[in-house]
């Protein structure tokens, strides 16, 4: 079958998460011929969030509803939305090339993926008590004992949701204090069925074909180890930027290094949202990134 004809745009946005949709909407509103390519994860990680916090006009709404609203704005602005994963991106002379499109400028908004614990039992028990979406799977463990690993906003939000369903939630943190916003920490501390294990690391997830039965914990203060009986574990230990499409410079965390206009060290390539180094991590930061990069492309005088 012959290939579809290649189309040409002034700017291509890769990744239909919050930052990518904000970039595509702003670019189209600036009058640029814009394409938004969904990298296969429409909405990104926020699609699984049960209640959005800290975003004006959407506080308390679901992540899925916010994604649908923003995608509607993309379409209304006139951007060309192309669903489907992007597997190839290369620079040719003055343009960036995708399999079926080219543009002189690309805004990379491929986001990040949740890091795994990389310990024995995690991969083997995935989907049978190991989950990275409490809003998806929490109901499966109603009335049972579960654990959440991590100390950031995502970990606390997931734990708070689980506390509404489960008999107990044990939060396992490697440090002595959480990184999450104080409001989430206070809410968790006020719950009788929420427990905290500080300076503690999960060394192994124990289970059978029937699912998770326990986790082996290492206490960094005492050096001792013990098994904690649970029926599910939810790791939220940070994000790994999804940078596989490009070879631009990265920082120690793997995020793409950008300047004040969110341009990388590659000509015509910008990075926004969780894929870039120094991203603030909140919805407002992602939206601001997308708009700033789109405006930078517009100012380039295409």
**Could you give phi then psi for residue 220, rounded to 5 degrees?**
-70, -25
65-68, Cβ contacts within 8 angstroms, sequence gap of 24 or more: 66/18, 66/283, 67/18, 67/21, 67/42, 67/43
User: In the prediction, which pLDDT does 47 show?
Assistant: 67
**Could you give phi then psi for residue 161, rounded to 5 degrees?**
-65, -45
Class of 7-114+239-299 per CATH? Answer: alpha beta
User: In the prediction, which pLDDT does 1 show?
Assistant: 41
**247 sits in which H/E element:** none
Residues of the chain with pLDDT under 50: 1-5
User: In the prediction, which pLDDT does 84 show?
Assistant: 83
**186 sits in which H/E element:** helix 182-189
The span from the CA of 204 to the CA of 140, in Å, is 22
- What is the dihedral angle through the alpha carbons of 99, 101, 102, 106, rounded to the nearest 10 degrees? -90
What does the pLDDT look like over 92-113, one tens digit per residue?
Answer: 989 999 988 999 999 999 999 8
Q: What is the radius of gyration, based on Cα positions, of the chain?
A: 21
Pairing between β-strand 232-235 and β-strand 145-149 as defined by DSSP bridges:
parallel
Whole-prediction pTM value?
0.83
User: In the prediction, which pLDDT does 261 show?
Assistant: 96
Nearest to 130 by CA among 268, 58, 237: 237
* Domain definitions of the chain by residue range: 7-114+239-299, 134-235
Query: Residue 256 burial by CB count (10 A; 0-12/13-18/19+): exposed, middle or buried?
Result: buried
Tell me the two tokens of residue 190: 């006020």
Count CA atoms closer than 13 A to 69's CA, side-chain side: 9
CATH topology of domain 134-235: FAD/NAD(P)-binding domain (3.50.50)
User: In the prediction, which pLDDT does 53 show?
Assistant: 64
How many Cβ atoms from other residues are within 10 Å of residue 42's Cβ? 18
């Amino acid at each position: 079958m012959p290939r579809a004809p290649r189309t040409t745009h002034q700017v291509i946005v890769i990744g239909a998460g919050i930052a990518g949709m904000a970039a595509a909407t702003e670019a189209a509103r600036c009058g640029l011929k814009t394409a938004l390519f969904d990298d296969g994860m429409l909405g990104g990680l926020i699609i699984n969030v049960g209640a959005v916090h800290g975003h004006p006009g959407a506080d308390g709404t679901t992540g899925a509803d916010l994604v649908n609203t923003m995608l509607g704005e993309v379409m209304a602005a006139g951007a060309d939305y192309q669903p489907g994963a992007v597997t190839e991106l290369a620079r040719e002379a003055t343009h960036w090339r995708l399999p079926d499109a080219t543009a002189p400028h690309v805004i990379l908004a491929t986001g990040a993926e949740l890091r795994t614990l990389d310990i024995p039992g995690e991969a083997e028990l995935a989907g049978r008590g190991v989950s990275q979406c409490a809003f998806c799977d929490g109901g499966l463990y109603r009335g049972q004992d579960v654990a959440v690993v991590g100390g950031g906003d995502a970990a606390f939000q997931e734990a708070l949701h689980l506390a509404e369903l489960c008999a107990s939630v044990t939060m396992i943190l490697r440090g002595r204090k959480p990184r999450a916003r104080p409001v989430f920490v206070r809410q968790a501390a006020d719950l009788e069925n929420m427990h905290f294990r500080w300076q503690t690391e999960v060394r192994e997830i124990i289970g059978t074909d029937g699912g998770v039965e326990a986790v082996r914990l290492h206490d960094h203060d005492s050096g001792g180890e013990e098994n904690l009986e649970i029926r599910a574990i939810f790791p939220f230990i940070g994000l790994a930027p999804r940078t596989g499409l490009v070879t631009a410079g990265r920082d120690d965390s793997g995020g793409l290094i950008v300047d004040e206009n969110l341009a990388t060290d590659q000509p015509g390539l910008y990075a926004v949202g969780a894929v870039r180094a120094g991203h603030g991590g909140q919805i407002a930061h992602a939206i601001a990134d997308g708009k700033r990069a789109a405006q930078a492309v517009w100012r380039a005088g295409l």
